[in-house]
Amino acid sequence: MRKIVLYIAASTDGFIARPDGNIDWLQDKKYNIPDEDFGYTAFLQTIDTTLMGHNTYKEVMGFDMPFPYPDLKNYVFSRSEQADTACVSFIKDDVVDFIEKLKEQPGKDIWLIGGGQLNSVVLNAGLLDEIILTYIPIILGKGIRLFSEEANEHKLKLIPTENKLYRNGFLQVRYSC
Ligand SMILES: NC(=O)c1ccc[n+]([C@@H]2O[C@H](COP(=O)([O-])OP(=O)(O)OC[C@H]3O[C@@H](n4cnc5c(N)ncnc54)[C@H](OP(=O)(O)O)[C@@H]3O)[C@@H](O)[C@H]2O)c1
């Protein structure tokens, strides 16, 4: 069965955005390494579908650029009625039931983009297979958590061959859930 993989970056204290959703700290040019994309291009080859919470989608649409994944099947979860776009289908139904059915369909793996609320829903339902987590060497102190407070305790298994320390201080770890 295709896997659901959370590929995401977090501050060293476990936040994925500032309290207002800003991710400027993640995009700091000082982290750039020439010809290094931290596994992003290779990861994209393994997936054909993305899952996003509505807050993350709104943040993505606030960037001054076109929607970044037009060639993928993109689902955004919201409890309110939203009109689909050329790139995105909104899902208002039961998230867990929808994702269970999606996993049963043939296809490549599925990228759980986030954010913290959706991550907890998927984790609690036992639907998350792997996490590729890039720790950014910064303490934010406050912000939006990698998993919202609704997350249940869950033990992870480190995949030892898949961890990388980059010379800009990024630490990428891969867990199976
Ligand atoms: N650092 C990174 O790599 C990274 C990656 C991804 C996201 N982020 C950041 O994470 C932040 C957003 O995270 P977040 O935790 O605030 O929100 P989120 O998980 O992106 O979205 C939450 C929204 O999703 C919908 N939702 C949540 N649970 C649902 C359910 N059970 N059924 C139906 N809809 C449901 C609701 O939308 P409605 O309110 O419309 O009902 C809810 O307000 C953004 O700032 C984004 O930039 C960072």
Distance CA 174, CA 158 (A): 6
Which atom of ligand 1 sits closest to the CA of residue 8?
3
| Same-domain status, 90 and 53 | yes
From the CA of 93, how far away is ligand 1's center (Å)? 16
Q: Residue 122: pLDDT band by 50, 70, 90 thresholds?
A: very high
pLDDT attached to residue 63 = 83
Q: Does the pLDDT value for residue 72 go beyond 90?
A: yes
Per-residue pLDDT reduced to its tens digit, 85-112: 999 999 998 999 999 999 999 999 999 9
| Same-domain status, 42 and 123 | yes
pLDDT attached to residue 31 = 97
From the CA of 113, how far away is ligand 1's center (Å)? 9
Question: Within 13 Å and on the Cβ side, how many CA atoms surround 30?
Answer: 6
| Same-domain status, 72 and 60 | yes
Distance CA 88, CA 116 (A): 20
| Average pLDDT in the chain | 96
Domain count, the chain: 2
- 114: in domain: no
pLDDT attached to residue 124 = 98
| Same-domain status, 18 and 103 | no
Range of the domain at 146: 1-46+119-153+166-177
| Same-domain status, 137 and 171 | yes
| Same-domain status, 31 and 65 | no
